[in-house]
Amino acid sequence: MTVETVQIPVYRPFAVQVARLVRLSPTFLRVTFTGADLDEFSTNGYDQRIKVMLPLPGRGIDDCPADPDWYGAWRAQPEDRRMPLRTYTIRALRPELREIDVDFVLHGATGPASAWAESAAPGDEVVLIGPNARFPGPTGGFEWHPPVDASCLLVAGDETAVPAICAIVESLPAGQRARVLLEVPEAGDALNVAAPDGVEVTWLPRATGAGAPAPRGALLTAAVADAVADLADDLAPSPAVALEDVDVDSGILWEVPTELTAPAGSSGVYAWLAGEAGVVKALRRHLVQTVGVDRRSVAFMGYWREGRTSD
């Protein structure tokens, strides 16, 4: 007699509906989703990534793959039956209430996710692909791994990284020194975030009402350079290393140190950088090659690339 082993997927689809919508600012919309099985949705906290499958016109979420290999099944579908797929960060999860919050960046109908969010209403259906609480092992999907001996944290990103950064900030213990830099479209996008003592949060609006908006990434780049200069006493520079060149127009700009095993006291500043790939690439190069920060203490993620609309 053969006993079949039931495959428990690490990530699985969750059919959900919009429960509430809260406009946080001119750019940010918080969507609270609810679903019958969201009590089985897991999260590691911090910058936990999920996928959002958006409905197809006239078909809704009927074409969501049911196979445990949801991604392979999704890729195998005809293009006209393949639901648009985008990556987002959990802002908050309340499994006991079967609710999850996802903050959307609104930028008009320039992409399927923003277009959906601009017209979303309670009751609208989407599918969230997220960690399965029934899976017996670690589910991963988050990149916040600071070394325990880091004397100070440097966290920087644009508006696409704001939900992840806010979740990270709210998870920090009181007394943890951290510099947090967030570039956003306008001053009204500075959100209320519960930063513990020791964490300095700086919002960098590109548009201030006086003159043309600053170029994307310019304020963040300058602020990171200033912060690194201010943290010079915390830095334990390593010899400058040559970094491989990543073509951000064709490759994925993403490196998260997993072996943060440097001797105690050598980490100095741990940096977490996310946002537009070209900007993040330049920031990482400045930290590692110019300043001499150990590359094992720099996590960087190109969340998106200007001029590209695909996930």
Q: Is the dihedral of CA 208, 212, 216, 218 positive or negative?
A: negative
Q: What is the pLDDT of residue 253?
A: 67
Percent of the chain with pLDDT over 70: 86
Model pTM above 0.75: yes
Is 3.20.20.120 the CATH number for 11-131?
no
Beta carbons of 175 and 197 less than 8 angstroms apart: yes
5 — pLDDT class (breaks 50, 70, 90): low
* 8 Å CB contact between 254 and 302: yes
pLDDT at 237: 60
Percent of the chain with pLDDT over 90: 64
**pLDDT bracket for residue 244 (50, 70, 90):** low
Q: CA 277, 209, 226, 195 torsion: positive or negative?
A: negative
Locate the domains of the chain by residue range. Answer: 11-131, 152-304
Structure confidence at residue 308 as a pLDDT band (50, 70, 90): low
Question: Between these two residues, 177 and 267, which has the higher pLDDT value?
Answer: 177
- Cα gap 38→97, rounded to integer Å: 8
- Find, among 302, 242, 234, 237, the residue nearest to 273 by Cα: 302
Fold match flag (11-131 vs 152-304):
no
Band of pLDDT at residue 129, cut at 50, 70 and 90: very high
pLDDT at 46 over 50: yes
Query: Which DSSP string corresponds to 56-90?
Result: BTTTBTTT---SSSHHHHHHHS-GGG---EEEEEE
Give pLDDT tens digits for 144-190. 988 887 889 999 999 999 999 999 999 999 899 999 999 999 999 99
**Structure confidence at residue 8 (pLDDT):** 87
Rounded mean pLDDT of 85-113?
A: 94
CB crowding 144-180: b at 16 or more within 10 Å, else e: bebbeebbbbbbbbbbbbbbbbbbbbbebeeebbbbb
Looking at residue 148, its pLDDT comes to 80
The pLDDT confidence band at residue 216, using thresholds 50, 70 and 90, is: very high
Q: Residue 100: pLDDT above 90?
A: yes
Cβ partners under 8 Å of residue 159, min gap 6 = 27, 28, 105, 182, 183, 184, 185, 189, 275
Considering only the C-alpha atoms of the chain, give the largest distance between any 2 of them, rounded to a whole number of Å: 77
Which class in CATH covers the domain with range 152-304? alpha beta
Query: In this model, does residue 74 exceed pLDDT 90?
Result: yes
pLDDT at 262 over 50: no
| Choice between 118 and 236, residue whose per-residue pLDDT is larger | 118
Residue 242 has what pLDDT?
60
265: left (phi over 0), alpha (psi -120 to 50) or beta: left
Q: What 3-state class would DSSP assign to 159? A: helix
Mean pLDDT of the chain: 88
Contact predicate 165/143, CB 8 Å? no
Please check the confidence at residue 219 and state whether its pLDDT lies above 50.
yes
Question: CA-to-CA distance for 207 and 186, rounded, in angstroms?
Answer: 5
pLDDT at 149: 78
First to last CA, the chain: 45
Q: Which of 89-103, 113-127, 227-241 has the lowest mean pLDDT?
A: 227-241
Q: Which residues on adjacent β-strands are paired with residue 152?
A: 269
pLDDT of residue 92 exceeding 70: yes
